[in-house]
A and B are shown apart, each in its own frame.
Chain A
Amino acid sequence: MPKKVAIVGISAFPFRVRHPHYTYYRMAFETTKMALENANLSINDIDSAVYGIYNDFFERQFMPDIIVHDYIGMILKPGTRVTTGGATGGYAIRTAYMEVASGLSDVVLCLGVEKSNDCWDPNTDTRTPELVKAISYSADCEFVRPLGSFPAASYVLPVRAHIEKFGNPSEESMARVSVKNHGNAIGNPNAQSPMKITVEDVLNSRYISEPFKKLDCCLYSEGAAAMILASEEKAKEICKNSGNEPIWITGIGAGNDSNFGGLRKNLWSLTSNVYASKQCYKMANIKNPLKELDVAELHDAFTGQEILSYEDCGFIEHGKGYTLIDEGIVEEGGELPVNLSGGLIGCGHAVGATGIYQATEIVKQLRGESHRQVSDAEKGLLHSVGGPVTAYCVCIIMER
């Protein structure tokens, strides 16, 4: 039996287009410092660390974790880096959980950091094309990368397959997700793109990869987030000192689909998400996620992907995901609010930090500290996805 694991400290370094006055290791330091303050601990209390840092090209550094490890004062303690695309955060939490649940460590720092916008394309004198080039090396370099695909063109294909099978989601439904998530980010000091926009604004923005438009896509960010995980005995002691309620990790599921989307049975479903969510619901004994969950943070790199995730995370049957946004069920005040933080679309996507950041938002909800507080929230879902055509997936249930 795994030992019980609690989250006892959280922090986030604001997600912004750039943090030109910060190195990634200083961002990691500031975030660690804030997490330690949140848990009322010192770095000496940490037994081991797990780092979520996705892309070596972003940091312009291979093994950036050992530089962070030194900088934050973890010398002579174990440290492990996780890098699984957009799901880096989710997998980092899973790894940190395992360190505590196994009894190897009592207190673990789980830190995600990413500084992506130092990439720069000399031909256009802009940053994003070079940034997505850095990402494109994550695609199969034999068969996929040389053809010039990029995340929006990759993640849109399941949505296109879904549209052809079920006739939805419509561009309007996807636009509603954009309006919701940009709107939810208003009031969140860590969010990069808080915006009050209309469905028309989204529909009028230019196509990036049809049917995704500019406002259907998240933006790349620089930022960091951290969580401190502890065993039951330690958690009780730490929380007594800090005054925070411990938040328990009660379910974890993970699964990776084929790297080649073309090898999957159904392209219209993100099968790894189905697998991971079922696993975490089983562990947390959740039968009806839509009814039992109070809040969820889904990986909404693209609006259409959020709608497919409603289905794949078991909120509703396949082909009906769009009704949850059209009928306001996933809006603030709805039956299951999704991405009250703003999600990736509202907050930005600091890849290695994103999953951990979204998990801290669930913790805030369960502690009662959110800028859009769901009253009496008891159970929350984190959904962390990444890799070629959503190959990686981790789902985590957190409870008060």
Chain B
Amino acid sequence: MNNVPKKDFKEKLLAQIDQLNKDPNFHEYYDEMIIHYKYSVGELSKFFVEIRDNAKLFGTKCTKCGFGYFPPRLYCNKCYTKCEWTELSGKGEIIAGTIAHFGVSAFTDKVPISIAFIKMDGMDMAIRHTIVMDEADYKIENMKKGTRVKVQFKPKEKREGKITDFYFVLDK
């Protein structure tokens, strides 16, 4: 009994659910929690507008210690000093990465996906993003530390000023 789920595991589970549904003392109903937004991104507006309109990536740098933030932020959390915008080359490297074969709903049909921490050239902080590859390239060997990647923007008409407007590809 206390063993690895066998092949009939799912059937048993379905039978249990069937049984539950016939139980007069059991009831479940469909429900959802949905809130719609027109979300203001405040001081980050420049970052998203540059992506949408000009296909450019911007990070920020602390004007005191020079630490490079990407994702960008207005204040350095070490110096409490303002950061200034700086345009990035769009190239960087993997710090750590994985190939995921499972996803949250809305992504379940998109697997495998590769997820990695990517440090952009000139920046000190890495961003967690996806690397889109040819199907045969979805291998953990391609996700090694130091692997060079470059940004790729969606076509202009598909860009909405969101983090999903761009992704990364291997810089072979």
Contacts and interface: CB of A to CB of B under 8 A. Distances in A.
B31 to A, nearest CB: 6
A296 to B, nearest CB: 24
B163 A150 contact: no
B100 A124 contact: no
A375 B102 CA distance: 42
B140 to A, nearest CB: 5
A215 B5 CA distance: 11
A158 B113 CA distance: 18
Contacts of A207: 99, 101
Contact of B119 (A130, A154, A186, A262): A262
A129 B128 contact: no
Contacts of A215: 4
B144 A194 contact: no
B145 A161 contact: yes
A196 B2 CA distance: 6
B143 interface: yes
B100 A208 contact: yes
B129 interface: yes
B104 A136 contact: yes
A161 B105 contact: no
Contacts of B71: 140, 142-143, 260
B119 A129 contact: no
B108 A123 contact: yes
Interface size class of B (residues with CB under 8 A): 35 or more
Contacts, number: 142
Contact of A267 (B33, B95, B115, B130): B95
A156 interface: yes
Contact of A21 (B25, B41, B95): B25
B98 A142 contact: no
Contacts of B4: 195, 197, 201, 215
B33 A209 contact: no
Given A148-B107, A260-B71, A153 B126 contact: no
A152 B103 CA distance: 10
A147 B130 contact: yes
A261 to B, nearest CB: 6
Interface string B123-163: 00111111000000000100111000000000000000011
21 contacts: A60-B33, A123-B105, A124-B105, A133-B105, A143-B128, A149-B128, A150-B104, A152-B102, A157-B115, A157-B117, A164-B145, A201-B4, A207-B101, A209-B101, A209-B115, A210-B99, A210-B101, A260-B125, A262-B95, A267-B95, A267-B117
